[in-house]
Amino acid sequence: MVKPVLLITGGARGIGAATALLAAQSGYAVAINYRAGSLAAGAVVQKIHAHGGHAIALQADVANETEVMAMFKRVDAELGRLTALVNNAGIVDVAARVDEMSVARLKRMFDTNVLGSFLCAREAVQRMSTRHGGGGGAIVNVSSAAARLGGAGQYVDYAASKGAIDTFTIGLAREVAAEGIRVNAVRPGIIDTEIHASGGQPDRARLLAPQVPLQRAGSAIEVAQAIVWLLSNESSYSTGTLLDVSGGR
């Protein structure tokens, strides 16, 4: 039986890695994209292989069009026609007010978090859409609860980039709904992953947990379960949906 093919951007750690492992268990052949951290990506591939699954690791910066196109061509050649995409790659930066943000910071944020998702979705639609001879598929964008909370005093730029992802999700979903493609997004809240350390706040999940109605941070696997559900036929009547996985926050 031919396995459905899934590409996960930023799949070497955190939510991406958890999604890769769970999707492989659910029967997907998984392409794990990473920008840096080849060892981490390789470790995820090894875990999938150890459980009888099929996965490959692919280096590419999602903000670089040439690298994105080359990555999708490798998926075509090594795994077959794409049937699912998770736009998970994203960055944060150190806490700052808007009046302290440099143009370089803003360009880096929006190039990775927004442009990267557009480029990957474009390539995915060209392969999945019935308009282009494809058999349909599903896209899940990883947004954030910050899109509706705003990130004041910390990372309004990150929150704004995720607000763009919400709008992108709704617009693309309506654009390709009649072409066999469903497009949804998850909006994680405070999730205990390595991304907080990259923003200079390694204890952020623990410190903010009391503000969450469920009184705890979430885990990467809890977000992964929502993503894999949105990819699956169990969510066959859901498109343009923004699913909060935020403990009520």
Give pLDDT tens digits for 189-198. Answer: 999 987 655 6
Q: Does 239 fall in a domain?
A: yes
Residues in the chain: 249
Average pLDDT over residues 163-184: 98
Does residue 194 belong to any structural domain of this protein? no
Instruction: Please answer whether residues 79 and 71 qualify as being in contact, where contact means their C-beta atoms are separated by less than 8 angstroms.
Output: no
**Residues 10, 87: Cα–Cα separation, whole Å:** 8
Which pLDDT does position 203 carry in this prediction? 79
According to DSSP, the residues that pair with 29 across neighbouring strands are 5, 54
Domain total in the chain: 1
Whether 158 sits among the annotated catalytic residues: the reply is yes
Average pLDDT of the chain, as a whole number: 95
Q: What is the pLDDT, as a whole number, of residue 208?
A: 86
pLDDT digits (tens, 9 = 90+) for 28-60: 999 999 999 899 999 999 999 999 999 999 999
Q: What is the CATH number of the domain that holds 172?
A: 3.40.50.720
Whether residue 205 has pLDDT greater than 90: no
Catalytic residue among 28, 34, 155, 158: 158
Using DSSP, state whether 185 is helix, strand or coil.
strand
2-36 pLDDT, tens digit each: 899 999 999 999 999 999 999 999 999 999 999 99
Please spell the DSSP secondary structure of 44-92, one letter per residue. Answer: HHHHHHHTT-EEEEEE--TT-HHHHHHHHHHHHHHT-S--EEEE-----
Average pLDDT over residues 232-240: 98
DSSP state of 137: E
How far is CA 112 from each of CA 2, 135, 228, rounded to the nearest angstrom?
A: 32, 28, 23
Give residue 67's domain range: 5-188+224-245
